[in-house]
Amino acid sequence: MRKVGLQKSLLAAAVFAGTAALAGCNSNAATTATTEGQRMQIDGMNVTTAWDKTFAQSDKVEHQKVVFHNRYGIKLVGDLYLPKDRDPNAKLAAIAVSGPFGAVKEQSSGLYAQHLAENGFITIAFDPSFTGESGGVARYVASPDISTEDFSAAVDYLLNRTDVDPEAVGILGICGWGGFAINAAAYDTRIKATVASTMYDISRNVANGYFDADNNEQSRFERKSAMNQQRTLDYNAPEPKLAGGVVDPLPADAPQFVKDYYDYYKTERGYHPRSLNSNNGWTVASALSFMNAPILAYSDEIRSAVMVVHGDKAHSFYMGKDAFAKLKGDNKEFVAVPGANHTDLYDQMDKIPFDKIIAFFHQNLK
């Protein structure tokens, strides 16, 4: 495939457009809500009460819809998972989960959160700002700061629950939110343990292209110019232009990892109607804020425990390895999953090393 064709396919994979041109709940107290059909109004957010996940509901876990806010005043909608066999008087370790980049909580992050709750943790899988059931206008945009902030907002929520041990809160990010999770751990000292699964460094990907193939000034200039031209057009448009989600139909000569994305986001396996990657993607100009804002600038100063998990057949493996190499201290761990590609760690229970992840959180959230 010619480079131009490859780049277009990579863009269509909806990792980001930049490579080309939901009731406030601060405690255990029930939140006032009104229910209509299979939807509920909580703190002004219209959320679904239907089980519309891409995975089966566990009979070992209680599930609740919750709403919390970040420091920008954006309301975020989450799925709270509670172990049914928990001691009602105990304070438990808690974990906030988000990702992949362009996904919603009904997909991979909810699967992780539910399974962690089956193993004794209070967990919350949430939609980031501007996506899914969460608030924020405009829609389908992301920024290095707000995307990282959303993890800290989830920590705010968990620390204000009476059933959470305030000294035992961790986070888990998948794909692009793996990078944001590490970034959050670099400044949020309340986070005691972080897991980044099949992670992306979105800033690096946007600025340099895949495999750093476009890491030069001219290439960045051309991509910034194209996005800024789109900003001008978006200003008076009813809605900003979207970059498109995972490419559909799938070209026969698409790179394998694009095929892997299609297999997850565009099939029964992982499709969700609110998912950006399953549908029309991020706004074209959304990537601009990542062009000169490296998210992992101070990751070498993280003192809390960090685990990086990556499939050794993933196209993104180099990002996980490089992110881990920058970490310091003897409480950091890298787990390479033999034979696993990038999206295998989204939902393949036989490949996600949950035994290691659970042991890591038990060891560091106590």
d(CA 169, CA 305): 12
- The encoded tokens of residue 208 equal 């340099």
Q: Is the pLDDT of residue 25 over 90?
A: no
- The number of beta carbons lying within 10 Å of the beta carbon of residue 294 is 16
Sequence-distant (6+) residues with CB within 8 A of 99 are: 108, 109, 173, 174, 175, 176, 177, 178, 181, 197
The mean pLDDT value for 57-66 works out to 98
Return the ∠ at Cα 153 (arms to 151 and 301), rounded to 5°.
50
Cα distance between residue 134 and residue 157, in whole Å: 15
Banded model confidence at residue 19, pLDDT cuts 50, 70, 90 = very low
Q: What percent of the chain has pLDDT over 70?
A: 90
The torsion angles phi and psi of 116, rounded to 5 degrees, stand at -65, -40
pLDDT score of 35: 47
Q: What is the DSSP letter of 253?
A: T
| C-alpha–C-alpha distance, residues 352 and 311, integer Å | 9
**SS3 state at 13:** coil
Phi-psi region of 209 (alpha: psi -120 to 50; beta: other; left: phi over 0): left
Res 20: pLDDT: 32
Q: List, for residues 139-196, the tens digit of each pLDDT value.
A: 999 999 999 999 999 999 999 999 999 999 999 999 999 999 999 999 999 999 999 9
Residue 34 has pLDDT above 60, yes or no: no
Distance CA(185)–CA(197), nearest Å, equals 14
The pLDDT mean for the chain works out to 91
Cα distances (angstroms) measured from residue 203 to each of 23, 65, 229, 344 = 32, 31, 21, 23
pLDDT tens digit string along 183-231? 999 999 999 999 999 999 999 999 999 999 999 999 999 999 999 999 9
Lowest mean pLDDT among 29-33, 127-131, 252-256: 29-33
Taking alpha carbons only, the member of 360, 53, 30 closest to residue 162 is 30
Residue 283 buriedness (CB in 10 A; 0-12 / 13-18 / 19+): buried
What sign has the CA pseudo-torsion 183, 93, 153, 105?
Answer: positive
pLDDT at 36: 55
**Residue 220 CB: number of other CB atoms within 10 A?**
18
- pLDDT class of 37 with cuts at 50, 70, 90: low
Nearest to 242 by CA among 205, 285, 201, 202: 285
**pLDDT at 47 (0 to 100):** 96
Distance CA 176, CA 147 (A): 10
Convert the pLDDT of each residue in 254-307 to its tens digit. Answer: 999 999 999 999 999 999 999 999 999 999 999 999 999 999 999 999 999 999
Total Cβ atoms within 10 A of residue 49: 14
* Distance in angstroms (rounded) separating the CA atoms of residues 207 and 293: 9
Mean local confidence (pLDDT), 88-113: 98
pLDDT of amino acid 247: 95
- What's the chain's Rg over C-alpha atoms? 19
